[in-house]
Amino acid sequence: MNAPYIFVLAGGSGTRLAPLSLTSAGKLPKQFLPLVGEKTMLQQTIERIPGGQIVIVPEERYTPDIQQQCRDLDGAPGEAEILAEPFGCNTAAAVGLCALYARQKTNDEKTVLFFLPADHIMDKNIFGQLFQQAVARAAGGKIITIGITPDRPETGYGYIQTGGQGDQLSVQAFVEKPDLATAQKYLAAGNYFWNAGMFVMRIDTALQALERDAPEIYRALLGIDFTQNLSAEIARQYQIIKDKKQNISIDYAVMEKEAANMELLPAPTAL
């Protein structure tokens, strides 16, 4: 079995941290800033990954900054590939693009893909354990997500409702950011987790789900010719997705509809 491909999704705008994190000239989104510790959030995210082929997925305009940040990392993490998007088109398009890119690179649809945001914070050892478990489970064809055990009624996060016990948790539903009263009910219920935005699945699992649940995005991405100027190819097909108003999140486009084929790995709150 091929080593997993890890896609670090780094296309967020970071506007909630304005004016520190902005997309205007001379400013960088939060994932490229040293907000927690001396290294940037992206650098820390890369260094947590215990193995596999790392691919960073940013907007094209940030490629020079990312290249420099990777050069500042020692060893293998600094050798991460960059798969740049000419412009952001939300995470459903990004996940589909990554799956097709990995298929082109490996010629093996059973290769496991691990998608994670560039701005998460988690203990390296805890993440390493969750990473290995998720990759092993996803190899069987399931979609695995990581949920954070809530310790307070948080209204700023999305939630995932689960069934089952221990670490054998099925996914029942994805829930939007709740109001305070609803968040308090989720906390008391004990079977709701914060959505960490981490998804693990095989290439074929990802593409079949996208074809099933977001066919317009899937068909557009199939038009990318990876042997040609990739930036131009992606831009042309992304524009089709944007024109069809399909620039939507992977959670909304696919994951909410694939709950029956999903499992959740719980992570502790203290990360």
Q: pLDDT grade, residue 69 (50/70/90)?
A: confident
pTM attached to this predicted model: 0.91
Mean pLDDT of 237-259: 95
> Do residues 237 and 223 make contact, with C-beta atoms less than 8 angstroms apart?
yes
CATH top-level class for 5-141+195-248? alpha beta
Length of the chain: 271
Mean pLDDT of 241-259: 95
Picking from 112, 125, 119, the residue whose alpha carbon sits closest to that of residue 28 is 119
Question: What integer pLDDT is reported at residue 18 of this predicted model?
Answer: 44
Whole-number Å distance between alpha carbons of 7 and 29: 18
Residue 248 has pLDDT above 50, yes or no: yes
Could you write out the DSSP letters of every residue in 184-237?
HHHHHHS-EEEEEEEEEEEHHHHHHHHHHH-HHHHHHHHT--TTS-HHHHHHHH
The residue that leads in pLDDT, 32 or 249, is 249
Residue 48 has pLDDT above 50, yes or no: yes
Phi, psi dihedral angles at 246 (to 5 degrees)? -110, 15
Whole-number Å distance between alpha carbons of 44 and 139: 26
Please report, for the chain, the start and end positions of each structural domain, with discontinuous segments joined by +.
5-141+195-248
Whole-number Å distance between alpha carbons of 8 and 220: 22
Q: How many CA atoms lie within 13 A of 117 on its CB side?
A: 21
Q: What is the mean pLDDT of the chain?
A: 89
pLDDT tens per residue across span 180-233: 999 999 999 999 999 999 999 999 999 999 999 999 999 999 999 999 999 999
Percent of the chain with pLDDT over 70: 89
pLDDT tens per residue across span 92-102: 999 999 999 99
Mean pLDDT of 4-14: 81
Mean pLDDT of 246-254: 94
pLDDT tens per residue across span 10-38: 875 444 444 444 444 456 666 767 676 78
Dihedral sign for Cα atoms in the order 218, 220, 223, 228:
negative
> Do residues 195 and 251 make contact, with C-beta atoms less than 8 angstroms apart?
yes
> Do residues 144 and 198 make contact, with C-beta atoms less than 8 angstroms apart?
no
